[in-house]
Structure 1
């Protein structure tokens, strides 16, 4: 994986963890709307990037004959 893709995935994961941790830092209170929007908006992107990247790497290795 190139450094930019690793950086982008790290940023997206950080956004999700930041949104989740907002609820834990404020026990007994409602979660802020910004945190809800961040988590709801970015988890599908992170999942798609990670799964797509993994599948792409496996397919590339199969085409090169290094896997299987």
Structure 2
């Protein structure tokens, strides 16, 4: 699965980074989400699915490759 983010919707809460810091980071400029790993599977996919659910602004989603 491919990790998709919408930085225009992101409010910089950092929940994604707390959920999976190997996949997500935050911009030094405005705190919006940065994707470090675009394609995920297996256990990593489960963590990203949790980050999708926890995102307060619904700025993260998953798409089929």
Give the TM-score, by structure 2 length: 0.32
- The answer to which structure has the higher helix fraction is 1
- The answer to which structure has the higher strand fraction is 2
Query: Larger radius of gyration, structure 1 or 2?
Result: 1
Give the TM-score, by structure 1 length: 0.31
